[in-house]
């Protein structure tokens, strides 16, 4: 019996069955990351939902069905899988993992779900600072440019004061940094970056 269990543990995940969905419940979670396709080029992405057996991504470059994909997600790290299907705005990945790795992902998702249910502010997972030059120009989806001022910034997002309030979910350029509007507050907006800022750029002299 132990040998059979070891063989099962080493196999990649099969296509999820209805009975497995109960064990691998999907969690709605927005994690920034990168993914690499078989051409070895990396692209930015963000998760829509995730389970220990699969993840749905918002991304621009889709690849091919059943193509191998390597993901690097904040809080989760490196995971691998294959492209299972295309979705509006992105794709779904079937993850390849041992039972031990799936258990680790399940624990991480439980922590993330509990964190969100406690109402912790989005985008506050990283240290925040105020740059020495806080003025920045925003470019909206329409191409219109407006002035804004950085309240504080982390490697994953920025809080801005601005007279303009783009809708939640709108794509926006903060200087030269692409992001997505994730919240409104009096006098400003919160933006989540499409890709985290690299640690070597994250200091008070940061220019977005």
Tokens read off for 66: 């059943």
CA distance 142 to 70: 33
Of all helices (H) and strands (E), which one includes residue 145?
A: strand 145-153
DSSP secondary structure string for all residues of 59-75: -S----TT-EEEEEETT
Sort residue 61 into left (φ over 0), alpha (ψ -120 to 50) or beta: beta
Output the average pLDDT for the chain.
Answer: 81
On whether the pTM is more than 0.85, the answer is: no
Place of tokens 């001022």: 149
At 69-126, the pLDDT tens digits run 999 887 787 899 999 999 988 999 999 988 888 888 888 887 777 665 544 444 444 5
Mark the ranges of the chain whose per-residue pLDDT is less than 70. 1-24, 114-127
């Amino acid at each position: 019996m132990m040998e059979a269990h070891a063989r099962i543990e080493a196999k990649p995940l099969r296509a999820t069955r209805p009975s497995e969905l109960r064990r691998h419940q999907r969690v709605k979670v927005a994690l920034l990351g990168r993914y690499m396709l078989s051409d070895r080029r990396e692209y930015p992405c963000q998760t829509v939902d995730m389970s220990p057996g699969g993840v749905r991504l918002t991304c621009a470059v889709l690849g091919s069905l059943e193509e191998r994909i390597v993901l690097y997600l904040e809080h989760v790290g490196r995971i691998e899988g294959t492209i299972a299907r295309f979705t509006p705005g992105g794709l779904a990945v079937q993850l390849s993992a041992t039972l031990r790795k799936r258990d680790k992902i399940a624990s991480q998702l439980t922590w993330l779900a509990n964190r969100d249910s406690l109402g912790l502010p989005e985008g506050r997972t990283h240290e925040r600072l105020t740059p020495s030059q806080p003025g920045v120009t925003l470019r909206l989806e329409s191409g219109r440019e407006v002035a804004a001022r950085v309240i504080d910034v982390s490697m994953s997002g920025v809080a801005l004061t601005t007279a303009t309030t783009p809708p939640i979910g709108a794509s926006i350029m903060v200087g030269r940094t692409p992001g997505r509007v994730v919240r409104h507050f009096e006098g400003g907006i919160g933006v989540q970056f499409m890709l985290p800022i690299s640690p070597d750029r994250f200091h008070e002299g940061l220019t977005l």
